[in-house]
Amino acid sequence: MKMRTLPIVGVCLMLWVSAPYAQAVPAGMYSSAPGSALVDDVAAARAALEEARAAVLVDESAVAARAERMIELGMWDEAESLLAAQAPGPDVSTAMAELLLERNEYAAAEEFVERALARAPDHRGALLAR
């Protein structure tokens, strides 16, 4: 795995996995204009984060997708516990690889990517993480 490409691959993987969670954003929410909801109000930003974290805990979607969302929200320990309890498959291995990349454990992440590709050579997320 090339070290120069890891940040780009990580961003691509994150965008690909988070696509199902994309939601309409209220106008001005991420604007840097004065008075925008999350830029100027730390309490509102914190509340939005906590709301997103609570929502992912009760989410009924696929385990790997939930784990990816947990990783995005900084719930690394919860994501690791969720993934560790699952049977090793390409989606779970790829999600674990993303978690390890976030923790800067590149060699271990590469092992999980290779496991995913061994089971599913055309797995999109694993190929992007490679």
User: Which tens digits make up the pLDDT trace of 39-79?
Assistant: 678 888 899 999 999 999 998 889 999 999 999 999 999 99
pLDDT of residue 55: 93
35 pLDDT band, cuts 50/70/90, is very low
Phi then psi for 95, rounded to 5 degrees?
-65, -40
- The region of weakest confidence among 19-23, 45-49, 78-82 is 19-23
Once rounded to an integer, what is the mean pLDDT over residues 75-88?
Answer: 93
User: CA 52, CA 49: separation in Å to the nearest integer?
Assistant: 5
DSSP per-residue letters across 28-71: TTT--STT-TTTS-HHHHHHHHHHHHHHHHS--S-HHHHHHHHH
Once rounded to an integer, what is the mean pLDDT over residues 105-129?
Answer: 93
pLDDT of residue 18: 58
125 or 21: which carries more pLDDT confidence? 125
Token pair for residue 125? Answer: 């997320």
Tally of CB atoms within 10 A around 97:
29
User: CA 71, CA 80: separation in Å to the nearest integer?
Assistant: 9
CA angle 3, 95, 18 (to 5 degrees): 95
pLDDT of residue 10: 60
